Amino acid sequence: MTNLNLKNDNVLKKPRITEKAAISADKLNVYTFEVTKDATKRAIIASVTSTYKVTPEKVRMVNIPAKNIIVRGRRGVRPGSKKAYVYLKKGDKIELM
């Protein structure tokens, strides 16, 4: 069984920059990223290490489900995604902007 994400592909789509994510980054040293649907924790650790030159302590992942929406009387679906919380050691930082 081979895992395609372990070959150091960039599974990080973009950082999630929200008010809650900014507070977590400042106070708790936790950074939030949108990742690909098939991303694994090991692939995220490898990607963060190669991109930002820091080693995460741990990674937590959350699946965001797709949601049905109605805009101007038309039905649609907002696609789901996956996000990862990357915990860093005290003193490590990631510059997102």
Q: Does this model's pTM top 0.85?
A: no
Q: Which CATH code of 3.90.230.10, 3.30.70.330, 3.40.50.10470, 1.10.1370.40 fits the domain covering 4-87?
A: 3.30.70.330
pLDDT attached to residue 2? 47
* Residues facing 92 on adjacent strands: none
- Cβ atoms of residues 83 and 62 within 8 Å: yes
Q: What does pLDDT average to over the chain?
A: 90
- Cβ atoms of residues 33 and 60 within 8 Å: no
Q: Please work out, in degrees rounded to the nearest 5, the angle formed at the alpha carbon of residue 84 by the alpha carbons of 32 and 58.
A: 95
Residue for token digits 């030159």? 53
Q: What is the DSSP letter of 19?
A: H
Q: What is the pLDDT of residues 29-75, one digit of tens each?
A: 999 999 999 999 999 999 999 999 999 999 999 999 999 999 999 99
- Residue spans per domain, the chain: 4-87
